[in-house]
């Protein structure tokens, strides 16, 4: 890059329009949409679409709800010509849809364009010529007068040929190419001259014979507010504005096409031309999906239907052979996904209180993914950035586990350890094959790790076999609670261990008594895990080893709530390192630590 870019590039001069009104306006209704996917979008493809691909995309555009579709440049190639003929001859254009075709301002091309349109019920003929000073000077060697002459001669020929084909309901569109770099006075002069030629036939209401003046940012060269000033200037100064549909056609060279098209509407544009997902020359045409969804998320229906966003994206990708970036607004694979723990936590809280019929207010999600046909599956994904929030979200959503906060913190640390090991493995294998190792953990993998950590699916030493609980009506504790006596049988490897017996003011207290271990119950919670037949209870207990001060959670799941709590106690005892004091801990000091990293990636 140059150290002094001013020697090569000039800053764009401001427009003198101090009484501009667009900054105080609001967008309250969508524009007329024109899709140019089949023309501008197609022209930008390394491999232009086949007729079959164009037909598929045309049908998609119709299904989305476009009423104006630029279908091609019929004088440019035989495929383009044949596609237009096929649409007309096979009657593939719905009655409420108008096709548009592009032509340069050259007689043979205009004639060929009209041949292509023979028999169309309705059509917009879109003619353009280059008006920007560097194009006039460098590319065409024409003066301003010669440039106007070219445009008006083309406009006149279009009018004459249309008059020869009265069976078609014609509309005409003119684009001063690279409007953004054209002197505003000259852009007005040439547009006025063209509009002057395209007079509505006598007796026809002006509303029925609107002329379209399209202002292309063929190359985006300024800030979007400057573009808005240019549009407002034209809007105010064009002759016969009441019979002009003012259109904008933004390219995205500076990455601000969306903003420019939106500000252009504030400044007076009635219509927007663009492509789905921003396909088009160089950096693309303005993305109509983003524009439409921007209306939608302001509570204004755009008149286009993206309820099946992913299916739409698939068709577009197949037809254009172009990928869509995972962070592309509204459609990218990752745009409704949070990896960061604080975001996930906020989203989880948002979902918990979101009224299904109310105003959407889930933090970090500007829209409900369900509105564009997406599930909530991808909203939270867990990696090493995620902390406890994402893990808790996935376990609750996929397995119905509402983990107590303390357990979230404890299990979050286990998850973090596994993720850190995975991150290291993936980083050290970068450049080599990572053997499919992912730094992300799915809900299923979390559940596997949870079961492994809390001994829910394992058969270690001394597993629970059965219990018997009896009331002791003649005994009560200090608070007057009736005591209970418990007998618990545990499995000792292959054989049954001697029965443990104890008493207490409830099954847990009785079991702790039976275990005769230096442990104390810190917290206990029990919930139902599933509902209906086969309902199961989940018990969470937090125990403290009084000798070491160590605190661990245990979890038990069972259809019987007492059994679930006994299992939770056993789970926590297994996790506490009781240093030989526990009769059924396989020598705690030597017990192998669970191999969390073995969770299948």
CB of 181 to ligand KIV, least distance (A): 11
Q: What is the DSSP code string of 112-135?
A: HHHHHTTT-SEEEEEEEEE-SHHI
Q: Which residues of 112-142 are buried (b: 16+ CB within 10 A; e: fewer)?
A: bbbebbeebebbbbbbbbbbbeebbeeeeeb
List the single partner that 128 binds among ligand KIV, Zn ion, none, CB under 5 to 8 Å by kind. Answer: ligand KIV
Which residues from 253-292 bind Zn ion, rule CB under 5 A? none
Q: Which is nearer to ligand KIV, 177 or 262 (CB)?
A: 177
Which residues from 22-61 bind ligand KIV, rule CB under 6 A? 40
Contact 561, 545 (CB under 8 A): no
Selection from 215, 219, 212 nearest residue 234 by Cα: 215
State both tokens at 2.
């140059």
Q: Does 128 bind ligand KIV (CB under 6 A)?
A: yes
CB of 128 to ligand KIV, least distance (A): 4
CB of 220 to ligand KIV, least distance (A): 10
Q: Which is nearer to ligand KIV, 174 or 540 (CB)?
A: 174
Alpha helices in 354-458 (DSSP H): 387-399, 405-428, 443-453
Selection from 249, 325, 283 nearest residue 31 by Cα: 249
CB of 324 to ligand KIV, least distance (A): 22
User: How big, in percent rounded to 5, are the helix, strand and coil portions of the chain?
Assistant: 40, 20, 40
Q: What is the DSSP code string of 26-75?
A: ---S--EEEE-IIIIIHHT-SSPPPHHHHHHHHHHHHHHT-SEEEEE-TT
Q: Which is nearer to ligand KIV, 114 or 179 (CB)?
A: 179
- Count residues contacting ligand KIV (CB under 6 A)? 10
Query: In the bound complex, which residue of the shown chain has the CB atom lying closest to ligand KIV?
Result: 218
What is residue 137's DSSP assignment? I
List the single partner that 504 binds among ligand KIV, Zn ion, none, CB under 5 to 8 Å by kind. Answer: none
How far is C-alpha 319 from the geometric centre of its chain's CA atoms? 21
CB of 8 to Zn ion, least distance (A): 25
Q: Which is nearer to ligand KIV, 57 or 286 (CB)?
A: 286
Selection from 139, 121, 120 nearest residue 130 by Cα: 139
List the single partner that 290 binds among ligand KIV, Zn ion, none, CB under 5 to 8 Å by kind. Answer: none
What is residue 505's DSSP assignment? S
Part in contact with Zn ion (CB under 5 A); list of ranges 37-45, 74-82, 316-324, 509-517: 37-45
Q: Are strands 244-250 and 211-217 parallel, antiparallel or unpaired?
A: parallel
Part in contact with ligand KIV (CB under 6 A); list of ranges 139-147, 210-218, 222-230, 537-545: 210-218
State both tokens at 556.
């038990």
Q: Return the residue of 249, 328, 422, 462 that touches ligand KIV, per CB under 6 A.
A: 249
What is residue 99's DSSP assignment? E
Q: Which is nearer to Zn ion, 41 or 302 (CB)?
A: 41
Q: Which is nearer to Zn ion, 40 or 410 (CB)?
A: 40
CB of 156 to ligand KIV, least distance (A): 20
Q: Which is nearer to ligand KIV, 249 or 467 (CB)?
A: 249
Q: Which is nearer to ligand KIV, 128 or 296 (CB)?
A: 128
List the single partner that 266 binds among ligand KIV, Zn ion, none, CB under 5 to 8 Å by kind. Answer: none
Selection from 541, 556, 548 nearest residue 588 by Cα: 548
CB of 93 to ligand KIV, least distance (A): 22
Q: Which is nearer to Zn ion, 40 or 229 (CB)?
A: 40
State both tokens at 592.
């192998």
CB of 175 to ligand KIV, least distance (A): 4
State both tokens at 93.
């254009």
What lies within 8 Å, CB to CB, of 191 at 6+ separation is 174, 176, 213, 234, 238
- Collapsed DSSP state (helix, strand, coil) of residue 286: coil
State both tokens at 433.
């094959």
CA dist., res. 129 & res. 183, Å (int):
15
Q: Return the residue of 22, 34, 38, 40 that touches Zn ion, per CB under 5 A.
A: 40
CB of 322 to Zn ion, least distance (A): 16
CB of 190 to ligand KIV, least distance (A): 14
List the single partner that 37 binds among Zn ion, ligand KIV, none, CB under 5 to 8 Å by kind. Answer: none
Binding string, residues 159-188; x marks residues near ligand KIV by CB under 6 A: ----------------x-x-----------
CA dist., res. 561 & res. 554, Å (int):
15
Part in contact with ligand KIV (CB under 6 A); list of ranges 134-142, 155-163, 213-221, 487-495: 213-221
Q: Which is nearer to Zn ion, 40 or 345 (CB)?
A: 40
CA dist., res. 248 & res. 528, Å (int):
59
**List of residues contacting ligand KIV (CB under 6 A):** 40, 102, 128, 175, 177, 214, 216, 218, 249, 251
**List of residues contacting Zn ion (CB under 5 A):** 40
């Amino acid at each position: 890059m140059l150290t002094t870019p001013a020697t090569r590039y000039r800053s764009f001069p401001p427009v003198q329009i101090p009484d501009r009104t667009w900054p105080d306006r609001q967008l309250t209704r969508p524009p007329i949409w024109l899709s140019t996917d089949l023309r501008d979008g197609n022209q930008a493809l390394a491999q232009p679409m086949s007729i079959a691909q164009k037909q598929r995309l045309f049908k998609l555009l119709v299904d989305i709800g476009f009423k104006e579709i630029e279908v091609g440049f019929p004088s440019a190639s035989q495929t383009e010509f044949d596609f237009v003929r096929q649409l007309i001859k096979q009657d593939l254009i719905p009655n409420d849809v108008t096709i548009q075709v592009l032509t340069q301002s050259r007689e043979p091309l205009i004639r060929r364009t009209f041949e292509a349109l023979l028999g169309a019920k309705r059509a917009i003929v879109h003619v353009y010529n280059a008006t920007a000073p560097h194009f006039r000077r460098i590319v065409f060697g024409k003066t301003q007068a010669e440039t106007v002459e070219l445009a008006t001669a083309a406009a006149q020929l279009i009018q004459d040929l249309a008059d020869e084909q009265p069976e078609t309901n014609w509309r005409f569109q003119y684009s001063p190419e690279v409007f953004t770099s054209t002197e505003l006075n000259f852009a007005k002069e040439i547009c006025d001259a063209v509009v002057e030629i395209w007079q509505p036939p006598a007796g026809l209401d002006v509303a029925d014979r609107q002329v379209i003046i399209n202002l292309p940012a063929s190359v985006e060269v300024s800030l979007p507010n400057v573009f808005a000033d240019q549009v407002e200037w034209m809007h105010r100064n064009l002759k016969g504005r009441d019979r002009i549909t003012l259109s904008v056609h933004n390219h995205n060279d500076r990455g601000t096409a969306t903003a420019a098209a939106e500000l252009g509407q504030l400044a007076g544009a009635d219509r927007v031309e663009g492509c789905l997902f921003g396909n088009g020359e160089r950096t693309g045409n303005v993305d109509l999906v983003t524009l439409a969804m921007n209306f939608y998320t302001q509570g204004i229906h755009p008149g286009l239907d993206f309820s099946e966003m992913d299916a739409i994206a698939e068709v577009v990708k197949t037809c254009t052979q172009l990928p869509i970036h995972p962070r592309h607004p509204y459609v990218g694979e990752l745009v409704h996904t949070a990896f960061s723990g604080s975001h996930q936590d906020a989203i989880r809280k948002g979902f918990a209180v979101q009224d299904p019929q109310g105003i959407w207010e889930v933090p970090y999600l500007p829209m409900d993914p369900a509105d564009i046909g997406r599930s909530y599956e991808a909203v939270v994904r867990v990696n090493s950035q995620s902390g406890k929030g994402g893990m808790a979200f996935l376990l609750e959503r996929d397995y119905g586990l509402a983990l107590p906060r303390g357990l979230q913190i404890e299990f979050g640390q286990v998850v973090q350890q596994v993720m850190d090991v995975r991150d290291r493995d993936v980083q050290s294998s970068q450049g080599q094959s990572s053997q499919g190792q992912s730094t992300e953990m799915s809900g299923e993998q979390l559940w596997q790790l949870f079961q492994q950590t809390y001994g829910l699916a394992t058969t270690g030493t001394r597993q629970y076999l059965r219990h018997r609980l009896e009331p002791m009506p003649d005994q009560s504790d200090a608070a007057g609670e009736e005591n209970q006596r418990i007998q618990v049988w545990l499995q000792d490897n292959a054989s049954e261990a001697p029965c443990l017996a104890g008493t207490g003011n409830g099954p847990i207290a009785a079991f702790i008594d039976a275990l005769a271990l230096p442990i104390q119950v810190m917290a206990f919670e029990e919930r139902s895990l599933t509902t209906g037949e086969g309902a199961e209870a989940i018990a969470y207990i937090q125990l403290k080893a009084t000798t070491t001060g160590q605190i661990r959670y245990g979890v038990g799941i069972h259809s019987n709530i007492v059994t679930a709590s006994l299992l939770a106690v056993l789970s926590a005892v297994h996790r506490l390192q009781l240093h030989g004091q526990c009769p059924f801990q396989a020598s705690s000091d030597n017990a192998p630590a669970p191999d969390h990293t073995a969770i299948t990636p």
